[in-house]
A = this chain, B = another copy of it.
Amino acid sequence: MAEFFPNIPRIKYEGPQSDNPLAFKFYNPEEEIAGRKMKDHLRFSMAWWHTLCANGTDMFGVGTVDKSFNTSDPMDLAKAKVEAGFEIMDKTGIEFFAFHDRDIAPEGENLAETNRNLDVIVDLIEAKMKETGKKLLWDTANMFGNPRYMHGAGTSPNADAFAYAAAQAKKAIEIGTRLGAEGYTFWGGREGYDTLLNTNMGLELDNMARLLRMEIEYGRSIGFKGNFYVEPKPKEPTKHQYDFDSATVIGFLRKYGLDMKLNIEANHGTLAGHTFQHELRVARTEGYFGSVDANIGDMLLGWDTDEFPYNVYDTTLAMYEVLKAGGFEKGGLNFDSKTRRPSCGLDDIFHAHIMGMDSFALGLRMADKLIKDGRIDKFVEERYSSYNSGIGKKIVDGTATVQELEEYALAMGDVKTNTSGRQEYLEAVMNQVMFG
């Protein structure tokens, strides 16, 4: 078995003072924080597509990194990627991975051949999983890259494309079931529209729900135990995607009665005009918190840059939401992140993952400190305390009438009980906790 990254050792925790670029400074997998090992809190996952497939191609230029793994035959390449992927997981200590069906095996001449290609590689992956103990966080079907989905998959105006998508997702769910995946994700890259001039929105939404329902039912019927996720994204590649953001997707799932959770990607949230924390907060509040695609976008760029997460404010607030949600159950932190195009070395894969893992490790440490510090949580509790008794309690209990509230307000004359929201003070607390 070839070693693809011979210059890269197993990455170890060496602490904040180490000057070894190939060491963790903050991620100490076995260290306990808030009652769990760091690795069990963070449940890092390697994304097959970016890490093993993406080569730096963008809309204005071809690849900069050689990810041919010494072969040009598509099936040999697929096999080499399995080796390379498990080597990366081994060396970084990442315990989970995630893939689209088309990341792991090439399409054949027709669906039958494509499925046979998948079977070959899934055999290999299954063996490696057994050997190494690595686990599948979730898999998914790529129903956006091939021209057959140019108008959508579940939302295609063409019933043939819908049928093909149904078959493709069925196979991907079977693979997930076989590999014991903890989740299965739907990201509808073409489930939207490019122009309303040619679009029947109502039929498309209904059809999308039809596809999801039949796939979920099928998955449960064959014993799939993981979560089903929808991953929100507002736009790109299409002008508008129906899975715009957390709130929109939750509304959709409720309308159609679909039992799914959310896989939230940081960069998708910001493209929708929300912070990463907001998207997580909505999911947590509404009971749809599931898994996370861990990356960061550039707030001044209008497309999905999928950068490795470096911003510890973001990771702290994200891990704060994760801890408040009770931690990941079946979900995890999947690095849907790619090295920048000019990061043209294979070793940049490791630098990037180390950086991303250390950033989330810092986020976990900070979130734990923030909760232990308690000032912010206590402030919030007190801020809403008027609903714990008196007229406030009646409002919450649903026993106050409009007439009673009017009497109360007339007697009051005006509201005299507002106190400061103290945003700047709370930001100071956060900085003190982070840098103190």
Contacts and interface: CB of A to CB of B under 8 A. Distances in A.
A395 B110 contact: no
Contact of A428 (B234, B239, B313, B354): B354
A331 interface: no
B355 A427 contact: yes
Interface residues on A, range: 35 or more
A299 interface: yes
A400 B157 CA distance: 17
A35 interface: no
A198 B379 contact: yes
A210 B344 CA distance: 27
Task: Identify whether the interface residues of A are mostly helix, strand, loop, or mixed.
Answer: helix
A285 B272 CA distance: 21
B358 A421 contact: no
Contacts of A417: 158, 160
Nearest to A66: B147
A323 to B, nearest CB: 14
Nearest to A16: B436
A254 B159 CA distance: 30
A207 to B, nearest CB: 7
A120 interface: no
A395 B163 contact: yes
A414 to B, nearest CB: 6
Contacts of A348: 420, 422, 424-425
Contact of A414 (B110, B144, B247): B110
A410 to B, nearest CB: 5
A199 to B, nearest CB: 7
A72 interface: no
Given A21-B428, A198-B383, A312-B431, 19 more contacts: A26-B435, A60-B190, A64-B150, A150-B421, A157-B386, A158-B417, A159-B390, A166-B409, A167-B410, A194-B423, A196-B277, A197-B380, A198-B380, A235-B300, A237-B341, A251-B255, A254-B255, A299-B300, A310-B427
24 contacts: A56-B150, A61-B147, A61-B237, A147-B418, A150-B344, A158-B419, A159-B395, A194-B342, A195-B426, A196-B275, A198-B422, A201-B285, A214-B401, A214-B402, A235-B273, A251-B251, A254-B254, A301-B302, A339-B423, A340-B424, A351-B424, A352-B424, A358-B431, A358-B432
